[in-house]
Structure 1
Amino acid sequence: MKRLVLFLSLLFLVQSCKSSYGKSELLKENETLKERIKKLETADTVNREAAIELKKMNVVYRGVSNPIYITKPNAISFEATAPGLRKIDSLGNYNLNVGTGRTLDITIKSKLKNGDSLTETKTFRIKDISAPIGTINGIGCGRDFELKMTKNELMKESSISIKVEDFIFDWSFKVRHFKLKINDTEIIQVNGSILNAEKLNVLEKLKINDSVKIFDIRWSIIGSKSTYSLRAPSPILIRIIEDN
């Protein structure tokens, strides 16, 4: 764009030199042309740089408050709108709660420094959060997968947690309590996320080939005020094996 303007400017000057204008008229025309070039270059730069910046937002998730950061470089002011989009502060932070459908559009209307108005639309895919998976000491592969552990491994204050696959946010999850079943008979509720042998003497009675099931894991998202109905993670199935 700039090269085209400069070429046309040069052509204009050449044609002007061939005219019968005097020196003062040529200088006046030259100054006017320089001002026009400067305005065009400024407008071109402003429009090119006025892009939407949305961090970590290739997709948005249904059922949780999606944190979004929006900026408009070289804009005097802008307004972002979308169903479920709520402005948090004047720094560009928003929360987005999506509803039905597979896509959602965010529209940004801005006023640029050169006086122009600009409207842009960003389309996002809407995804449902995958079913959470229960883990013990970070290990867990979902429903119907049986882990092999010795009694000693299980009794070393094992930590119960969850993981959600294909989830882009850096959120942490907290396990509030869970249930423990031994050989499909005795059921014990454990508060917190630690399987502590001192509090659960029943673990001392475990024998080789006994089964342990950790289920009904209740959890929350740390720091989130979302009203999302958190799905129950898949249970953790354990088979007691002999020490090597």
Structure 2
Amino acid sequence: MKRLVLFLSLLFLLQSCKSSYSKTELLKESKALKERIKKLETADTVNKEAALELKKMNVVYRGVANPIYISKPNAVSFEATASGLRKLDSLGNYYLSPGTGRTVDITIKSKLKNGDSLTETKTLRIKDISAPIGIINGIGCGNKCEVLLKKDELTRGKIGVKVNEFLFSWEFKVSGFKIHLKGKTYDFEGNHLDNSLEQEIQNLKEDDRLVIFDIKFKIVGAPSGIRYKNPSPILIRIAEDN
């Protein structure tokens, strides 16, 4: 658009000034306008910084291959480097697996259309993944509090896992757990209580306590090699039946 405006200005100038400008003067004016156009094009190219998009998050997580998209508008080519950065394809898709520290720098070196080279640095925050928390019927707060449940709610309880303030859309699938109840420990497979403890649960009284622990799970949709801690137990207190 700027090129078009300046070109039209040049035409107007040539048409309106033929009678008063010599050929030499017109050529000088034309050269000056062309130099202005070139400077504007160069400024436009340089000012467009490299775009870095973190997919579904605003930080990168330690111990995770974080998907990242990097692009550089108006560049002939560019190269991105960082500790733990792995290029996936020629479309700008990368995985970033940060190491130690609180931040990671991504250096982007690009070659512009005007022949210049440009180096930029993007700094990202690194965050540790919070320890998984065991939940029952979608409720749980780790070791910080007790979950208050009625006996029928416990009988139909579904065991799960969550991670607070986690932005990946991964699924945590429970494959087994243990219950410590009245001095005894019981093993379960899957993510539901079965009928084997129905009588023991019905014999519980208000304010009786039990613990669900050793929750085994896997993450569906996560890249291979991810490291995570064991989920915190679920502390349960029996509520009064109305």
* SS in structure 2 at match of 1:194: coil
The offset of 1:200, in angstroms, is 4.4
Moved over 4 A (4+): none
Read off the aligned partner of 1:208 and give its amino acid letter.
K
Read off the aligned partner of 2:178 and give its amino acid letter.
K
The offset of 1:242, in angstroms, is 2.2
| Number of the residue aligned with 1:9 | none
| Number of the residue aligned with 1:179 | 178
Read off the aligned partner of 1:62 and give its amino acid letter.
R
- 1:76-225 residue pairs with structure 2 within 5 A? 76-156=76-156, 158-183=157-182, 185-195=183-193, 197-198=194-195, 200-201=197-198, 204-209=201-206, 210-225=208-223
CA offsets per residue over residues 75-109 of structure 1, 9 Å max, x none? 12111111111111222111111222222111111
Root-mean-square deviation over aligned CA pairs: 2.6
The offset of 1:135, in angstroms, is 1.1
Under a length normalisation based on structure 1, what TM-score does the superposition of the two structures give? 0.82
Counterparts in 2 of 1:199 and 1:27: CA distance versus 1, 3 Å: farther
User: Percent identity between the aligned chains?
Assistant: 53
Read off the aligned partner of 2:204 and give its amino acid letter.
K
- For residues 36 and 57 of structure 2, the distance between their equivalents in structure 1, rounded to whole angstroms, comes to 38
Read off the aligned partner of 1:24 and give its amino acid letter.
K
Structure 2: runs of 5+ lacking an equivalent: 7-12
Structure 1: runs of 5+ lacking an equivalent: 7-12
Question: Does the 8 A contact of 1:220 with 1:230 survive in 2?
Answer: no
**When the two structures are aligned, how many residues end up with a matched partner?**
227
- For residues 148 and 214 of structure 1, the distance between their equivalents in structure 2, rounded to whole angstroms, comes to 13
Counterparts in 2 of 1:187 and 1:98: CA distance versus 1, 3 Å: same
| Number of the residue aligned with 2:24 | 25
Question: Does the 8 A contact of 1:151 with 1:203 survive in 2?
Answer: no
The offset of 1:171, in angstroms, is 2.8
The offset of 1:236, in angstroms, is 0.4
Question: Does the 8 A contact of 1:151 with 1:206 survive in 2?
Answer: no
Under a length normalisation based on structure 2, what TM-score does the superposition of the two structures give? 0.83
